[in-house]
């Protein structure tokens, strides 16, 4: 609309000064008599025909407000569109707003190695952070490669945090085809520091001459960078960098930490080059470096950065060139704008001999804390202790901070080949451990409960912080997305078809494992008075979210029969899967009923619900909360722990085992078939072939799911069924191996079978440490319970524990990694590496720490 048009429109409302006033109009307006009609006899004709005028006025008055309401509703619906429930936050106070997570606690965790997907990455716990990272040039198969992001295909012979306290110290070793890098991280907070304090990184470079070809040089090239996600400009100290003249590399300013400076110090003869970039993208910084190096090689035949910067650079990369061996210290000093900043003194305290002494002190404190908490010296040998330290160090060093929006599927399609429309969750932050820095460098809900079994024992405040962040991701229905793919760095690592999260699908509520453990610790007076107070405040605040989470499971995942549950999300139309996966269960391809239906009863979910109900009941009692109608957690726990009812629904006397129930046939296989496409050559595909009509029955696959009632300690210690479970566990023809318990019995028709042409067996045989830990926990429990099978439980426990520790330690020593799973034939590590999520539970196995699970 033009400007004159707007004026015309306004003139309809605003009267000009030349217009006659309202009184004049009224004077000139014809006078209409209310009794307009008269009969020829002079009598009046009533306008309302005996209708009550007050009644009509009341109706008019009411209609006016109805119209006003509708107009207002219409306007508001345009201004504030109603959000789908799946992306509407739970209307409850955020746990992370509690005072215990503010102030000193929040500042103490501000900086950290919170970019676990990188070989070395540092950031602050804020959405738009100043971030730092390390790259270097490695050699593989006779070619140069730029290392930056943790990738299995880089084939590093080992990397990972040998020691890390989760707060202000870490020690990591990386072996890359002859180059040995040691990176150490240290934080320092003094009176003169800006918010979050200062930090230092020491990088030591050595060479293994037996693996290094000197044709590729006699030194190493490192690239250390700073990038500002907020777009703030970074300034290079000068064009010609010379650390022997001045240690200052760069400077800048931010609202959170004030002015800052980056310094580099070394006693070795190092050459420095730099390049500055302006970019809004931070997930592909290595591409910028590679392009700059390639340009310099073409122009000058030299492998060095351009010593130039884009205008308003928000990324600075510094190339550090040195002959083997060399060491360099890099320091970020915050708050340099303060009057008493003492920059030079602080730089000196975080470099050279002062840094060496502080690192040595932190390492000793780490070793002492490990022994104080886990008492490993009395339980295992020195080699196992060393591996145990690496396990907890890698788990804590893998804690990350992420910010972004999850993508939530709008449709219920389960076919990954079809396009899925999605909406975005609200912008959210997540502070969490990750299962694997190379393969799964992001938050996974069911993994996190297992992570916290270790972390809460190490640092209860970090653990509550992580759990709180997860619970704050809950939507109005009580649902939490099971996989957190937040930010462009995370999105760049995940295939598009797996990004959208389905709000109908759950994930095992394993956070209740850690919470149950913590509550037991409260009952046993394992915490200081301050810790007890903070845990209680946390539980008080978290209760409404835990309750919503429980109710979501109890309503959306419930089955047709009382006290039955089933995992939603299985594909009942697939023609390519041998057995439709239950990704929401966490056990992926573990065999369920051959034909998914609403008649299913999943044994593992029933046991998870017992754990959740029991934990909620414990929290209620701890906080002196009254039981409310429809939310009697004690009753639910009693119902789900009813052994006779469990047996009626899930026990098969012929097998002596517990099973799922559903629409099932064993007559299913994958067959190659020619697919009709209308083309000359019909492609062959491996498709599902069913040769028998399924019936409702127990699903006869002995494996981890069968042992969930045993893990949950539901079976009475004097029951003959307990003896049957011990026999299943110790049977070499079923689950027992010299390296741990198989995920699926050898007698199963699905044992080690591929699920599709491209999906090898995952939970159909290999050994998983999280489930073995839970089974060990139950064995330990029954070995302490008086009963006829106590001695048998103890013997199996002792041997299984020894097998697990020995195999994990042996693999770590031979390969340099913790693994996602272990082969059931030879015990060799398989799957993702390093996998320092729940495989780190080996520390609790060594310490014989099992809690109440």
Nearest to 825 by CA among 720, 711, 746: 746
Beta carbons within 10 angstroms of residue 226's beta carbon: 22
Measure CA 179 to chain center. 32
The strand pairing partners of 185, in sequence order, are 170, 201
Residues shown for the chain: 853
Q: Could you give the angle at which helices 460-471 and 529-556 cross, rounded to 10 degrees? A: 30
> Quick check: 641 and 748 in contact, CB under 8 A?
no
Q: Are 445 and 470 in contact (CB under 8 A)?
A: yes
The residue behind tokens 């080996």 is 842
485 φψ region: left (φ > 0), alpha (ψ -120 to 50), beta (else): beta
Q: How does DSSP classify residue 444?
A: E
Q: Are 642 and 539 in contact (CB under 8 A)?
A: no
Angstrom CA distances, 331 to 185, 309, 681, stand at 10, 22, 64
DSSP 653-689: TTTTEE--EEEE-S-EEEEEEEPP-SSSSPPEEEEEE
Helix (H) or strand (E) holding 224: strand 219-228
Nearest to 853, CA basis, from 322, 454, 422: 454
Task: Report yes or no: 436 and 835 within 8 Å, Cβ to Cβ.
Answer: yes
Angle between helices 352-374 and 445-458 (to 10 degrees): 100
Q: For the chain, what is the radius of gyration of the CA atoms? A: 33
Q: Where are the beta strands (DSSP E) in 280-418?
A: 308-309, 315-323, 326-334, 400-404, 407-409
Of these residues, 459, 571, 588, 799, which one is catalytic? Answer: 588
Q: Which residues are CB-contacts of 312 (< 8 A; sequence separation ≥ 6)?
A: 233, 278
Asked about 344 being catalytic, the answer comes back as no
Residues in CB range of 734: below 8 A, 6 or more apart:
702, 728, 742, 745, 746, 747
DSSP 773: H
The verdict on whether 418 is a catalytic residue reads no
- What does the alpha-carbon distance between residue 779 and residue 797 come to, in Å, rounded to a whole number? 5
Residue 441 and residue 117: Cα distance in Å, rounded?
Answer: 5
Q: What whole-number distance in Å separates Cα of residue 662 and Cα of residue 851?
A: 33
Residues 57 and 289: their CA atoms lie apart, in Å, by 78
Contact criterion met (CB below 8 Å) for 396 and 165: yes
- The residue annotated as part of the active site, out of 229, 614, 820, 823, is 820
With b meaning 16 or more CB within 10 Å and e meaning fewer, what string describes 720-759?
Answer: ebbbbbbebbbeeebbbbebbbbbbbbebebbebbbbeee
Identify the CA nearest to 484 among candidates 431, 534, 528. 431
DSSP 609-660: HHHHHHHHHHHHHHTTPPPBTTB-HHHHHHHHT-HHHHHHHHEETTTTEE--
Pairwise CA distance, residues 790 & 778, whole Å: 12
Report DSSP state, residue 115.
-
Q: Residue 254's closest CA among 128, 168, 345, 133?
A: 128
**Residue 770 CA neighbour count, 13 Å, CB half:** 23
Instruction: Show which residues are catalytic.
Output: 588, 820
């Amino acid at each position: 609309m033009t400007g004159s048009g707007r004026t015309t429109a306004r003139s309809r409302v605003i009267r000009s000064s030349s217009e006659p006033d309202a009184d004049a109009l009224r004077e000139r307006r014809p006078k209409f008599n209310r009794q307009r009609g008269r009969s020829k006899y002079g009598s009046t004709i009533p306008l309302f025909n005996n209708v009550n005028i007050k009644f009509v006025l009341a109706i008019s008055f009411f209609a006016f407000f109805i119209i006003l309401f509708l107009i207002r509703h219409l306007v508001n619906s345009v201004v504030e569109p109603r959000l789908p429930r799946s992306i509407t936050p739970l209307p409850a106070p955020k746990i992370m707003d509690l005072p215990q997570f503010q102030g000193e606690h929040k500042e103490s965790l501000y900086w950290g190695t919170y970019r676990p997907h990188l070989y070395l990455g540092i950031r602050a716990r804020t959405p738009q952070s100043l971030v730092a990272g390390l790259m270097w040039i490695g050699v593989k198969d006779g070619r140069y490669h730029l290392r930056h992001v943790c990738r299995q295909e880089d084939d590093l012979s080992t990397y990972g945090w040998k020691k890390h306290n989760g707060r202000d110290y870490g020690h990591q070793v990386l072996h890359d085809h002859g180059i040995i890098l040691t990176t150490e991280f240290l934080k320092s907070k003094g009176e003169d520091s800006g918010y979050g304090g200062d930090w230092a990184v020491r990088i030591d470079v050595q060479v293994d001459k037996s693996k290094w070809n000197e044709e590729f040089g006699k030194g190493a090239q490192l690239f250390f960078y700073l990038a500002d996600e907020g777009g703030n400009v970074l300034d290079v100290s000068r064009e010609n960098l010379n650390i022997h003249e001045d240690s200052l590399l760069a400077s800048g300013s931010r609202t959170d930490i004030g002015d800052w400076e980056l310094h580099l110090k070394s006693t070795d003869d190092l050459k420095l080059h730099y390049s500055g970039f302006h970019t809004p993208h931070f997930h592909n910084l290595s591409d910028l470096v590679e392009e700059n190096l390639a340009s310099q090689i073409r122009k000058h035949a030299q492998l060095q950065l351009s010593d130039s910067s884009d205008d308003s650079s928000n990324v600075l990369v510094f190339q550090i060139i040195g002959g083997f061996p060399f060491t360099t210290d890099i320091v970020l000093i915050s708050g340099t704008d303060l009057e008493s900043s003492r920059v030079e003194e602080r730089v000196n305290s975080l470099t050279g001999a002062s840094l060496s002494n502080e690192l040595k002190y932190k390492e000793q404190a780490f070793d002492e804390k490990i022994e104080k908490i886990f008492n490993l010296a009395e339980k295992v040998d020195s080699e196992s202790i060393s591996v145990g330290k690496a396990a907890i160090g890698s788990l804590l060093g893998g804690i990350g901070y992420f910010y972004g929006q999850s993508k939530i599927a709008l449709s219920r399609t389960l076919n990954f080949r079809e396009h899925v429309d999605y909406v975005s969750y609200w912008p959210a932050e997540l502070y969490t451990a990750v299962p694997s820095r190379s393969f799964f460098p992001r938050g996974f809900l069911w993994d996190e409960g297992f992570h916290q079994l270790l972390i809460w024992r190490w640092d209860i405040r970090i653990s509550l912080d992580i759990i709180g962040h997860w619970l704050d991701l809950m939507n109005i229905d009580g649902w939490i997305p099971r996989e957190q793919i937040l930010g462009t760095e995370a999105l760049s690592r995940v295939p598009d078809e797996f990004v959208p999260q389905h709000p109908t699908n759950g994930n095992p509520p394993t956070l209740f494992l850690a919470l149950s453990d913590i509550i037991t610790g409260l009952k046993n007076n394992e915490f200081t008075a301050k810790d007890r107070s903070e845990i209680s405040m946390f539980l008080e605040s978290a209760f409404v979210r835990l309750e919503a989470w429980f109710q979501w499971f109890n309503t959306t995942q419930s089955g047709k029969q009382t006290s039955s549950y089933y995992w939603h999300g299985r594909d009942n139309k697939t023609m390519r899967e041998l057995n439709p996966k239950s990704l929401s269960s966490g056990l992926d391809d573990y065999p369920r009923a051959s034909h998914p239906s609403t008649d299913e009863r999943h044994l593992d979910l029933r046991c998870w619900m017992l754990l959740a109900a029991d934990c909620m009941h414990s929290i209620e009692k701890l906080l002196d909360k009254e039981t409310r109608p429809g939310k009697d957690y004690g009753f639910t726990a009693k119902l789900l722990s009813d052994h006779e009812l469990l047996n009626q629904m899930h026990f098969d006397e012929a097998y002596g085992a517990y099973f799922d129930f559903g629409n099932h046939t064993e007559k299913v296989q994958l067959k190659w078939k020619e697919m009709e496409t209308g083309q000359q050559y019909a492609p062959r595909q491996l498709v599902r072939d069913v040769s028998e009509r399924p019936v409702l029955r127990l699903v006869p696959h002995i494996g981890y799911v069968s042992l969930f009632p045993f893990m949950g300690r539901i079976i009475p210690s004097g029951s003959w069924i307990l003896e049957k479970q011990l026999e299943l566990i110790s049977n070499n023809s079923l689950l027992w191996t010299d390296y741990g318990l198989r995920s699926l019995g050898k007698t199963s028709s699905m044992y080690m079978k591929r699920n599709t042409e491209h999906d090898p067996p995952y939970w159909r045989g290999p050994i998983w440490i999280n489930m073995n830990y839970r089974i060990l926990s139950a064995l330990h429990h029954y070995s302490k319970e008086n009963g006829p099978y106590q001695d048998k439980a103890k013997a199996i426990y002792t041997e299984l524990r020894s097998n697990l520790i020995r195999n994990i330690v042996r693999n770590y020593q031979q390969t340099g990694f913790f693994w996602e799973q272990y082969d059931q034939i030879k015990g060799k590590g398989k799957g993702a590496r390093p996998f320092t999520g729940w495989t780190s539970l080996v520390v609790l196995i060594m310490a014989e720490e099992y809690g109440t699970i």
